[in-house]
Amino acid sequence: MSFEPVIVSAITALVAVIVSPLVSIVVAKNQINASVISSNRQVWINRLRDELATLVAIIHHIPSAHANASVSTDSAIAEYGKFVEKCQIIKLLINPKETDHQELIRLIESADTKIIDSINSKQAKASEFEAIGKRIVVQSQIVLKREWERVKNGK
């Protein structure tokens, strides 16, 4: 059974006409999906960074301001409420199954305990809270860097 060159050419052209647009559609769909995912991940990174920055600022401010009486206990408790809100937002933003995210939450929960202790005792060492804030920033940088790499790689 031999095919004449004209039939082979016609079949080849027909396959090319059908397959080429399908391949283009699949490639375009994959590019659009990657773009949307990267864009959403970038928005997520920015939101997480903003929430973490506010959280660390509160950690640096509340305990020492309350200990030196520049902030009343009522104001310290109100600021602590903002801290708790930021903690919950961050917990909802991150992936609890990833080790570096778990470590970030552990550091934040440690800061939470220390802030409560400092408000209750009206004693705080600014250097201790600065150190806690720095550890959270370092861990946050690890998380954010890895996520940024995912954005750069289109994942």
Q: Could you report the per-residue pLDDT of 51-74, keeping only the tens digit for each?
A: 999 999 999 888 888 888 888 888
Are residues 81 and 88 in contact, defined by beta-carbon separation less than 8 angstroms? no
Q: Where are the alpha helices (DSSP H) in 68-152?
A: 73-93, 99-121, 126-152
Q: Give 150's pLDDT tier (boundaries 50, 70, 90).
A: confident
List, for residues 71-122, the tens digit of each pLDDT value.
888 888 999 999 999 999 999 999 999 999 999 999 999 999 999 988 888 7
Residue 135 has pLDDT above 80, yes or no: yes
pTM above 0.85, yes or no: no
Task: Kindly state the tokens that stand for 145.
Answer: 């860097």
Residue 24 has pLDDT above 90, yes or no: no
List, for residues 28-50, the tens digit of each pLDDT value.
777 766 666 677 888 889 999 99
Q: Which of 5-9, 135-139, 148-152 has the highest mean pLDDT?
A: 135-139
Supply the angle between the helices 5-67 and 99-121 in degrees, to the nearest 10.
Answer: 20
Residue 1 has pLDDT above 60, yes or no: no
Are residues 64 and 134 in contact, defined by beta-carbon separation less than 8 angstroms? no
Mean pLDDT of 113-134: 87
Domain-wise residue ranges, the chain:
41-152
Question: How far is CA 40 from each of CA 48, 52, 82, 99, rounded to the nearest angstrom?
Answer: 12, 18, 26, 22
